[in-house]
A and B are shown apart, each in its own frame.
Chain A
Amino acid sequence: MSDSQTAPAPLLTAQDFKSDIKPIWCPGCGDYSVLTALAKACAELARPRARIALISGIGCSSRLPAYTNVYGFHGVHGRALALATGVKLARPDLTVIAAGGDGDGLSIGGNHFLHACRRNVDMTYILMDNQVYGMTKGQASPTTAPDWCEGKLTPTGTGIAPVAPLQLALAAGVGFFARGFAGNPNELARLIVAGITHPGFAVIHVLSPCVTFRAEQRGWKQAVHGFDGAPATDPATAMARFAGDDGFTTGILYASATPPFMPERQMTMTAADFDRGFIV
């Protein structure tokens, strides 16, 4: 294996982290800005492209890896965090980023979200939330408000309370949680850099409007407001501080010092040594 870290590191621009493939996203989709912010963050961190692995599941936002120039895996629906966990545990030297939407991460992949939070493997999860299933043409997602009636499967609304990603993550023991807005890619890039730099599992919850099925999300521009205070370092404080949050507070909302999960490995034996244990 050639090792790009041993080669002189060329200075890469954000553009170098983007591929030549044209996204399938609709014009005006928030995910374009997420791609831009991610590329910017990677350039800022000056990590070699070959040392970054970007893992996704299924959905509009999960198409992200193809539009970058790093190693990527576009897997099955809901399992991005599990696959990314395998990458990072097998190769701690890599910078591992998982990405996907609210349906992928909080519905079909909800269990993995919980366990990724509590396992605290050193990787970053970009959760692009548009409160709708776009790829299947506009059904309610786990973050959709109960009275949204435009989903054809739920014409009178879902009638059930949406998932609150921040509270869910805190309850599951997340180590880092930031919220960004696709309409502010510079802030988002800073949050992604902070997440990647954070030692442990970092959730970057991105409000990423779907202008096709949720045209009213164009109004998020006016709704978002920044949190500039020092992030809470214990879950109880964070939980209390954001108990009445409207979901539009952006910034680093929580950052704990919980050490990341990375089991020690030893090389004290070879496979052949284990024969001895079975010999009569």
Chain B
Amino acid sequence: MDIAHMNMDGTEIARRDARAGAETVSLAIIGSGGAGAMRAGEILLDVAAKAGFFGLMCRAMGPQIRGGEAAALLRLATAPVSSPDDHFDLLVALDWENFSRFAAELPLAAGSLVLTDPDEGEVPAAISESGARVAALAMKKLARTVPGGRVNVIALAAAATLIGLPVPLVGEVLARQLGRKGDAVLAASAAALALGEEVAAALPPARRLAPPPAAAGARWVISGNQATGLGALKAGIGFVAAYPITPATEVLEWMAPALAKTGGLLVQAEDELAAINMVIGASFAGTPSLTATSGPGLALMSEALGLAVASETPLVVVDVMRGGPSTGIPTKSEQSDLDIAVHGLHGDAPHLVLAPNGIGDCLFTTQWAVALAERLQTPAIVLSDQALGQSRAVIAPPPSPPALPGRLLATAAEADHYQRYAVTASGISPMAVPGMAGTTYVADGLEHTPRGIPSAQASDHHTQLAKRARKLEAFDYGAAWADIEGEDGDEIALLTWGSATGPAREAVRRARREGLMVRLISLRLLLPARPAALAAALAGVRRLLVVEQSHGRQFHKFLRANYDLPAEVAVLSRPGPLPIRPAEILARLVPWE
């Protein structure tokens, strides 16, 4: 047994890590339903967080309600990470059931280590062919030697030991979670942990983490869907109506109790048509309101989004995208709702489309979207996706978006001659809400006069169309419209959005480290397009690589429709569900070096 692994002494652990410390280690824990792979992954992420690391855990799941294949895909690091790595350094297989269904999501390299339970059958060919080292660990048998011992706890201890996470911390996290289950359960888990740690000492070495940063600063553990919910709450959302849909449901599950404690309310509607119309009603009544859905739900909501545009009712729709069209791949990610978000409304219907580009950014972007929707009296669609929403990360505390003045309300001075859709220079008209005396009006999806009276006259239509477009175009969105990394003089740029930003960000950093100066531009505000701002961001850029996760090059087409791009443009566009990996992006940049 390696004495360093048993030692609680911090200096000893530091010495051990220094022997082969890496800035980042990726590991996957896989198993069939009930094996506890996902649980083990979550615990490892929490342990890494408590130990001072950063990290990311994505989930690969099948469509089964309970059981089925599941993989916890972790990347732990000494600094914040924005995307999965190119391959996994360690794969712990509790069993190989249904492995073929997600084999493609588990790239391995020659140096990778695979732990297999010899009682769970042969190692699949895909593993043998990867060139990874394979080591046997009879996890099930070992678990049986401990009364009440669980397979995933053995695996957890072995994995933690191999990558250099302190096993005592694993014990602490487990004990906190099992606290209510009694001493016998706690003792069983402690014994299983000790056993797992012991047997790991005899295993071949795996890539180990370097010591955590001395001052990692405050860190959060949060999922994208939770961050979306928290951003909404911080923005003052007081009403949510929604219909359950994967992979957006966790936004709602987080918000329901949180709203109930902050004076708000979440209503489970009978369908998405009801949800969006309830949200319109609540917003009309003066309460900032939001719904969350996925692609099929957004499609059902699109008629009412037109109503929100015409009636100038602020609201936010969060679309946590999944593979489409139709039911598609509900549990896996894709950036393929950009088209419907941008173009899916009927009529000329200017609206906002925003996209978070990281897990923490789900908070920032959702909060900003609510503030913009309220300020501009318009619907905003926020395009998150499964890869952001259902992944958890250890991150620096997310920043807050710039503060904006809230909804422009009518005043008593306007009583008795109130014009709900008054034509103003900014395009924003003061909005009365029920309860205000003297400013009653009828919000209308029919084209209308400034007073809100239905009108089919050309002049009213033209004036109101122009007003609704102007309020979005003329607004100063500030610096948050995009994330830009790089320097003047960069001749190559990556242009991306949403969850594809994570691997793009890492690719840019790797490229710059190797002397290839590449600029990153990630659009957070998709609609309205900002041609002047992007032209400035692209100044000096001769070559552009567009990175997106869709089959139909939706983002590239969107860019072509709205922006002037440099002469040389390449596109890395691939449908889900496999994540785009940093090395793929780098491989496209290298020929330009």
Q: State the A residues within 8 Å of B (CB).
A: 1-4, 7, 21, 48-53, 55, 65-66, 69-76, 78-79, 82-91, 93-94, 111-112, 114-115, 263-272, 274-275, 278-280
Contacts and interface: CB of A to CB of B under 8 A. Distances in A.
B442 A4 contact: no
A78 B277 CA distance: 10
Contacts of A86: 239, 241, 267, 277-285, 289
B265 interface: yes
A2 B239 contact: no
Interface residues of B, number: 67
B123 interface: no
21 contacts: A2-B437, A49-B440, A50-B439, A71-B440, A82-B275, A83-B277, A83-B284, A84-B281, A86-B241, A86-B283, A86-B285, A88-B281, A89-B267, A90-B285, A94-B435, A264-B260, A265-B263, A269-B258, A278-B230, A279-B219, A280-B218
A75 B435 contact: no
A21 B241 CA distance: 34
B535 interface: no
B444 A74 contact: yes
Q: Which one of A69, A82, A88, A267 has the greatest number of beta carbons of chain B within 10 Å?
A: A82
B446 interface: yes
B270 to A, nearest CB: 4
Given A76-B303, A76-B307, 9 more contacts: A4-B437, A53-B434, A69-B440, A73-B284, A73-B442, A266-B263, A278-B221, A279-B218, A280-B219
A272 B234 contact: yes
B567 to A, nearest CB: 45
A54 to B, nearest CB: 8
Closest 10 CB pairs of A and B: A86-B281, A86-B278, A90-B282, A72-B442, A4-B437, A82-B277, A83-B281, A82-B274, A79-B277, A86-B282
Contact of B436 (A4, A21, A69): A4
B269 A82 contact: yes
Contacts of B436: 1-2, 4, 50
B446 A271 contact: no
Contacts of A51: 434-435
B437 A48 contact: yes
B281 A66 contact: no
Nearest to B259: A265
A279 B220 contact: yes
Interface string B567-580: 00000000000000
B262 A271 contact: yes
Interface string B405-436: 00001001000000000000000000011111
Contacts of B306: 76
Contacts of B260: 263-266
A88 to B, nearest CB: 8
Given A72-B442, A111-B270, A267-B262, A82 B281 contact: yes
A266 B261 contact: yes
Given A73-B442, A265-B265, A91 B278 contact: no
Contact of B434 (A50, A89, A111): A50
Given A50-B436, A66-B454, A265-B264, A115 B274 contact: yes
A268 B261 contact: yes
B443 interface: yes
A75 B446 CA distance: 8
A1 B442 contact: no
B238 interface: yes
Contacts of A3: 435, 437
B234 A94 contact: no
B287 interface: yes
B281 A73 contact: yes
A4 B263 contact: no
Contacts of A91: 282, 285-287, 434-435
A274 B239 CA distance: 17
Nearest to A74: B444
Nearest to A58: B445
Contacts of A76: 277, 303-304, 306-307, 445
Nearest to B261: A269
B230 A271 contact: yes
Contacts of B277: 75-76, 79, 82-83, 86
A82 B273 contact: yes
B220 to A, nearest CB: 4
A271 B236 CA distance: 8
Given A4-B435, A83-B280, A266-B260, A280 B50 contact: yes
A73 B311 contact: yes
Interface in B128-169: none
Nearest to A70: B440
A91 B303 CA distance: 24
Contacts of B195: none
A263 B262 CA distance: 13
Contacts of A263: 260, 265
A82 B42 CA distance: 39
Given A89-B265, A90-B265, A267-B262, A75 B279 contact: no
Interface string B454-476: 10000000000000000000000
Contacts of B439: 50
B394 interface: yes
Contacts of A268: 261
B120 interface: no
Contacts of B289: 86, 90
Contact of B263 (A71, A82, A267, A274): A267
Contacts of A266: 260-261, 263
A61 to B, nearest CB: 15
B440 A87 contact: no
Contact of A50 (B270, B279, B409, B435): B435
B505 to A, nearest CB: 22
B316 to A, nearest CB: 14
B453 interface: yes
Given A1-B433, A50-B435, A85 B267 contact: yes
Contacts of B261: 266-269
A280 to B, nearest CB: 4
Given A2-B436, A21-B453, A51-B434, A274 B258 contact: yes
Contacts of A114: 270
B312 to A, nearest CB: 12
Nearest to A84: B281
Contacts of A50: 434-440
Nearest to A86: B281
Contact of B222 (A21, A73, A90, A278): A278
B271 A111 contact: yes
A91 to B, nearest CB: 4
Contacts of B262: 267, 269-271
A75 B309 CA distance: 12
Nearest to A48: B437
Given A82-B269, A111-B271, A266-B260, A280 B220 contact: yes
A90 B467 CA distance: 28
A112 B274 contact: yes
A272 B307 CA distance: 33
A89 B219 CA distance: 37
A74 B443 contact: yes
